Amino acid sequence: MNLNTLRQVNPLVVCQTNSVVTHMTANHLIALGASPVMSEAPNEQHEMLQYAHALLINIGTLNDQKLEYMHHAMKVANELEVPIILDPVGAGATSYRTKTVLNMIDKYKIAVLKGNFGEIASLVGASEAMKGVDSQFDGSEDDLIAIAKKAHDMFSCNIVITGERDIIYTSDKYETYTSGTVLFTKMTGAGCVLGSIIGAMYSPMDSFESIKYALFTYHTAGMNAEEIVTLDRPGAFQVELLNQLHHVSDEEVRVLFDDRA
Ligand SMILES: Nc1ncnc2c1ncn2[C@@H]1O[C@H](COP(=O)(O)OP(=O)(O)O)[C@@H](O)[C@H]1O
Ligand SMILES: Cc1ncsc1CCOP(=O)(O)O
């Protein structure tokens, strides 16, 4: 979905995300032109997901109570054919998180699995490269492609791995990217917000291009914000990112596509 369409449709993204980024996720989705709702109660999921464009499941502050709520929402989302974006925050840091995510992938149809290199590498059994929620290394481009391919083969869903270099790997094709700004690494939740934006822009009929559009939208807004605040003002960047998500246009996002053509 491009930005003009998104701002007309105002897609509803139902979010069960972590307590660190709940507020910022809602604000970034609103700035973009989407409609967030944070909803956990099992007994409202059927009504809530009825009109949802996507369900975002982010395990960043997981506990058994939240896990029960997440399972319920994912089951309903699959029944209603609402795409699930799964962010396995901290997978690999603890076996609780790793096992939880593997079990979710086993039980439900996931549209997009999006994580940093350490998270996705841990899920495919390739490494234990996580310290808390941070990937301990980004891997070479070859590593990135190999891990994304393995994840795609094992989990049969669209894979996004983020870091200094990103990859989108779908059954149609894969590409790697180095756009964005290092200021994303200076705020908590940069990856979590991206997951929500993928949810808002995701189109099951055109998985690869819609995920790429979401990534490029986020990166364009981030690069625009960096230009205004400069690299030594990570605090100002967080505010400016919201402004730039509000203003970013299809024409600007297309520039990133053209740069890569
Ligand atoms: N060094 C970097 N330079 C430019 N963009 C980056 C860099 N590191 C991460 N990003 C971007 O920041 C966003 C979050 O990625 P990442 O930091 O890997 O996620 P997480 O917060 O889940 O660990 C992605 O859009 C990614 O492309
Ligand atoms: C700091 C922290 N602790 C638990 S969730 C969270 C936020 C992680 O955000 P991201 O995965 O985007 O870095």
Domain carrying residue 17: 3-215
Q: Is the pLDDT of residue 214 over 80?
A: yes
- The answer to whether residue 249 is domain-embedded is no
- Look at phi and psi of residue 81 and say left if phi exceeds 0, alpha if psi is from -120 to 50, else beta: left
Residue nearest to atom 9 of ligand 1 (CA): 163
Which percentage of the chain shows pLDDT scores above 90? 90
pLDDT of residue 172: 86
Interval between CA 162 and ligand 1 midpoint (Å) = 5
Binding-site residue numbers are 38, 114, 162, 189
Residue 180 sits at φ, ψ, to 5 deg, of: 105, -165
Domain count, the chain: 1
- The answer to whether residue 152 is domain-embedded is yes
CA end-to-end distance (rounded Å), the chain: 20
| List of residues 6+ apart from 176 with CB closer than 8 A | 141, 144, 145, 165, 166, 167
Higher pLDDT, 127 or 76: 76
pLDDT tens column, 238-249: 999 999 999 999
pLDDT of residue 229: 96
- The answer to whether residue 252 is domain-embedded is no
Residue nearest to atom 2 of ligand 1 (CA): 164
- The answer to whether residue 232 is domain-embedded is no
pLDDT of residue 259: 84
- The answer to whether residue 247 is domain-embedded is no
- What's the maximum distance between 2 C-alpha atoms anywhere in the chain? 47
Average pLDDT over residues 139-157: 93
- The answer to whether residue 260 is domain-embedded is no
Residue 260 sits at φ, ψ, to 5 deg, of: -90, -10
Which CATH number goes with the domain that contains 65? 3.40.1190.20
| Interface confidence (ipTM) of the complex | 0.98
Q: Is the pLDDT of residue 137 over 80?
A: no
Closest-lying ligand 1 atom to the alpha carbon of residue 194: 25
Q: State if residue 117 touches ligand 1 by the CB under 6 angstroms criterion.
A: no
Q: State if residue 216 touches ligand 1 by the CB under 6 angstroms criterion.
A: no
Q: Is the pLDDT of residue 115 over 80?
A: yes
